Amino acid sequence: MAAKEDVGSLLDCRLLDLSIGKNMEPRCLIPLPQASFIKDIVWQRAAKYNFLVLTKEGKLFHGKYPDPSLTELMDGIDAVESSGIGDIVVAKQNNITVFSSDLNEKMIIPLSSELWLGVPMGGATLGQNFNVG
């Protein structure tokens, strides 16, 4: 199964035959709310909801294939990912939040710019030995 943003703000879901590299006919067309553009699509294999859609405007939606509708979960989201067991991880402002597959909040990890700037935190200095290249 693959999905792509289509003309007219539609999410176009298709089956792919990877052995011949050929697109099959659309399985469903899902209208995107508020004429949004897609930033990311995350497929949920082990979770209650089959996929998550993050718009460029930061709105996170969930959908259940083949139902042609999306339900808004939250807004202000910067990034989304899922685990093999169905947990959902979202980045929003200066926090990373982990949700269970049924969208119950499990953990919040606050991020501080101090961690990336080598500023001492609680007696330890992080980031000063980080070398790129």
Q: Which of 2-6, 22-26, 102-106 has the lowest mean pLDDT?
A: 2-6
- pLDDT tens per residue, range 71-112: 899 999 999 998 878 888 999 988 999 998 888 999 998 887
Structural domain boundaries, residue 66: 2-114
pLDDT value of position 80:
94
Give a yes or no: residue 83 inside a domain.
Answer: yes
Give a yes or no: residue 133 inside a domain: no
In a domain, 22, yes or no: yes
CB 33 within 8 A of CB 19: no
CATH code of the domain containing 87:
2.130.10.10
Say what the pTM is.
Answer: 0.67
Is 81 within the bounds of a domain? yes
Evaluate whether residue 126 is within a structural domain. no
Q: Is residue 57 part of a domain?
A: yes
Distances from the Cα of 117 to the Cαs of 6, 37, 93, 127, 132, in angstroms? 41, 33, 17, 6, 14
Burial code (b: 16+ CB inside 10 Å, e: under 16) for 66-83 equals eeeebeebeeebeebebe
In a domain, 128, yes or no: no
30-50 pLDDT, tens digit per residue, is 777 766 788 888 887 665 557
Q: Is the pLDDT of residue 60 over 50?
A: yes
What is the predicted pLDDT for the residue at 76? 95
Q: How many domains does the chain have?
A: 1
